[in-house]
Amino acid sequence: MSDNIEGLLSAYERGAFTRRQFVAAVSALLSVPAIGCRHHEAQSAGPFVARGTNHVTISVKDLTKSREFYQRLFKFARSEEGDQSYFLGMGSTFLALDALPHVSGVDHFCIGIDGFDLNGTKQKLESLSVNATVEEGRFLYFRDPDGVKVQLSAADYQG
- In a domain, residue 159? The reply is no
Residues counted in the chain: 159
Answer whether 53's CB lies under 8 Å from 29's CB.
yes
Answer whether 16's CB lies under 8 Å from 58's CB.
no
Instruction: Say which residues have a Cβ less than 8 Å from residue 21's Cβ, sequence separation at least 6.
Output: 12, 105, 106
Answer whether 80's CB lies under 8 Å from 120's CB.
no
Q: What is the pLDDT of residue 56?
A: 94
H or E element, residue 122? helix 118-127
Q: Block means of pLDDT (10 residues each) for the chain, length 159 residues? A: 59 66 62 48 74 91 91 87 90 90 88 94 94 94 90 88
Rg of the chain (C-alpha set): 16
For residue 77, what are the domain limits? 2-33+50-154
CATH number at residue 133: 3.10.180.10
In terms of Cα–Cα distance, which of 141, 109, 105 is closest to 19?
A: 105
Answer whether 121's CB lies under 8 Å from 47's CB.
no
- In a domain, residue 10? The reply is yes
Q: How far is CA 155 from the centre of its chain?
A: 12
- In a domain, residue 45? The reply is no
- In a domain, residue 39? The reply is no
- In a domain, residue 44? The reply is no
Q: What is the pLDDT of residue 41?
A: 56
In terms of Cα–Cα distance, which of 56, 54, 55 is closest to 22?
A: 56
Complete DSSP assignment for 30-66: HTSPPTT--------S-SS-EEEEEEEEEEES-HHHH
- In a domain, residue 43? The reply is no
Domain count, the chain: 1
